[in-house]
Structure 1
């Protein structure tokens, strides 16, 4: 090796000192390991958080369908790879959402504990406790009224029907008489009876299948803990896995409506970038709500903007008319929601079976 050459510390091949980077492996010649270098390498290696991300983020948000179109046309190094962008933004979203999910799980556990405690407390109430109960009942009625009015657009309930339900004499009884197990089962749980005896009282038989026995066991676990936060947490933990099945199904719907517009891989590229945009919007919503609650109408507008973005993305990517893009986009959306519903049911069932 000549005097004007050095050896690469990574691949151990010689190269000229004039080179800033090793021509064999690409590592920088003077690569001092500082804290900044360590942090940058970690992010860039695992999340591809480099200059391409910043070049891709603005077009992703402001030019629907642009990145997918350019990637399919061959510009695959200038912008961040669609799968890498989707993965990075999804990780950011679920990280932010985990704070909200933990709080929701705690609220559910607290609410269920209060309900069960109220149902099992049979002692006589003092005048002060009676007044407090009346006050709580009034607040519960107002909360129920507000919820029913908000959901009336979906349920079809009229104002008169809501008033009849909320102001009815059976409201408090229906609200408080929540029994998830039989009296015999509750009694056996209170005296810490063996699980075998409790499961028998619930109706489980020795001849039942392993699947049915698992259902009984999980239900007993819930009756004993009187907490639903663990189920909700398992549900949230399962959602990222479910998304890897949902996204290809969405691409399949695109292929169904755009059979002559490229291969299935092209539809996957579009889907990756579109879902990356969705997770970006949701990340912004979750981030803002973590700091300060924003009005529901703002959430509704931002979520509705996803549909508008979708139509614009279809128009640019497939280069069809606005009418065709709107019609196909509407049909894809209507067909996709039942798929989401079925996946949600499957995830809920999985969360219950394995929490």
Structure 2
């Protein structure tokens, strides 16, 4: 070996063996170091994004409009031209839940809107008028509880009205008026929803005395469980009767994780129901990934179409009305397409006749609906514990 060959020889940093190519034939380590300049890492990241997009153009169209095509292609070994199922699901689910959270948080969760002081005064005045009418129609009871309750509401809303009529140009009054608006909004929302701290309550129990307990737990464990249930019920009551926006954001934050846990369970369900299809569990998991990716991308499209419909309709005019109608029709058509797509996908992948496919599709749909309901309950309970 001459000097030039010695200089050209490359050694592996891990096992110090001679390397020809990009990877060490002895230990498999790449010669490409992970310690690079920051701009080089950014360039690699952009390259990954654009390589994803190049395959995404060949993946998204069949994902939405060709039921079962991607899954059958994957089973047949033709995978290089398409985004892998797991990567596709992760990318779409992240975009879907982020967009959903933004659109939901952008909306006012309270149905009563007080944009200015005049609107607030008008709504509170109308409610005082309603309370007075209710007082005149109320049947007095021996202890006058009905009239006393209405009088208490009248006193509270009259106080709100006095505060709202203050001069908001004064700094101290401006803060008071702002707070009063929020309190009045909560009170009016509670009245509109028909909720009342005294008459309505949320309980979590499985016995006549209103407690939560299980025979297989000790008395001490049952007491801790019941105490936790009562605290959770009280927290739920306060949340549902005031501002649900925070709970909704918490639930949307938990759903991606819970949906990822639901995927293998759904794949197991497919494995049991289609046991005679002789498909491997990983094949059923691929079906679950592709079907959920389709549901998410369709739901995302419907949500964006709905937002666009509202904005276009708000512009007014004949053209805006026609454009809004078209957007609404596309969203409705896409909503109808979801169950049709999933039926065709199941039929093509598991190669069933129409009658058998119809019954198995209905059975899978019922079980999946139950699983989704349980997942939603878990997300709500989990969200309440974080508030």
Where on the TM-score scale, by shorter chain, does this alignment land: which range? 0.5 to 0.7
Q: Distance in 1 between matches of 2:71 and 2:362?
A: 20
- Counterpart in the other structure of 2:109: 107
Q: Secondary structure at the match of 1:227?
A: coil
Q: How far off is 1:340 after superposition?
A: 1.7
Given the alignment, which residue of 41, 48, 70 partners 2:45? 41
Q: Distance in 2 between matches of 1:33 and 1:55?
A: 33
- Counterpart in the other structure of 1:239: 255
Mark the CA change 1:274 to 1:13 in structure 2 (over 3 Å): closer, same or farther.
farther
Deviates more, 1:274-283 or 1:321-330: 321-330
- Map 1:116-127 onto structure 2 (within 5 A): 120-122=156-158
Q: Distance in 2 between matches of 1:215 and 1:89?
A: 33
Deviates more, 1:340-349 or 1:208-217: 208-217
Q: Distance in 1 between matches of 2:349 and 2:192?
A: 55
Contact kept, 8 Å, 2:306 with 2:331, in 1: the verdict is no
Contact kept, 8 Å, 1:116 with 1:226, in 2: the verdict is no
Residue 228 (1) aligns with residue 253 (2): no
Residue 68 (1) aligns with residue 71 (2): yes
Given the alignment, which residue of 347, 351, 354 partners 2:383? 351
Mark the CA change 1:336 to 1:180 in structure 2 (over 3 Å): closer, same or farther.
same
Q: Distance in 2 between matches of 1:179 and 1:95?
A: 32
Mark the CA change 1:326 to 1:219 in structure 2 (over 3 Å): closer, same or farther.
closer
- Counterpart in the other structure of 1:212: 229
Q: How far off is 1:59 after superposition?
A: 2.6
Q: Distance in 2 between matches of 1:337 and 1:42?
A: 39
Contact kept, 8 Å, 1:109 with 1:227, in 2: the verdict is no
Q: Secondary structure at the match of 2:300?
A: helix
For structure 2, the 5+ residue unaligned runs are 115-119, 128-152, 166-187, 200-209, 212-222, 311-323
In the superposition, the TM-score normalised over structure 2's length comes to 0.58
Q: How far off is 1:87 after superposition?
A: 0.5
- Map 1:1-355 onto structure 2 (within 5 A): 2=5, 5=8, 22=22, 24=24, 38=42, 41=45, 44=48, 49=52, 51-104=54-107, 106-108=108-110, 120-122=156-158, 175-176=191-192, 178-182=194-198, 209-215=226-232, 218-219=235-236, 222=239, 226-261=242-277, 262-293=279-310, 298-355=330-387
Partner deviation per Cα, 1:190-219 (whole Å, 9 max, x = no partner):
xxxxxxxxxxxxx99xx7743135226525
Q: Distance in 2 between matches of 1:4 and 1:290?
A: 64
Q: Distance in 2 between matches of 1:219 and 1:334?
A: 28
Mark the CA change 1:267 to 1:176 in structure 2 (over 3 Å): closer, same or farther.
closer
Q: How far off is 1:243 after superposition?
A: 0.8
> Which is bigger in relative contact order (C-alpha 8 A, separation at least 6)?
1
In the superposition, the TM-score normalised over structure 1's length comes to 0.62
Q: What value does the CA root-mean-square deviation take over the aligned residues?
A: 4.5
Mark the CA change 1:10 to 1:60 in structure 2 (over 3 Å): closer, same or farther.
farther
Deviates more, 1:258-267 or 1:340-349: 340-349
For structure 1, the 5+ residue unaligned runs are 130-171, 184-202
Contact kept, 8 Å, 2:298 with 2:334, in 1: the verdict is yes
Q: Secondary structure at the match of 1:108?
A: coil
Contact kept, 8 Å, 1:109 with 1:229, in 2: the verdict is no
Q: How far off is 1:283 after superposition?
A: 1.8
Partner deviation per Cα, 1:237-291 (whole Å, 9 max, x = no partner):
1111221233233323322331122122211111101111111111222233343
The structure with more radius of gyration:
2
Partner deviation per Cα, 1:38-58 (whole Å, 9 max, x = no partner):
15526738x982544333333
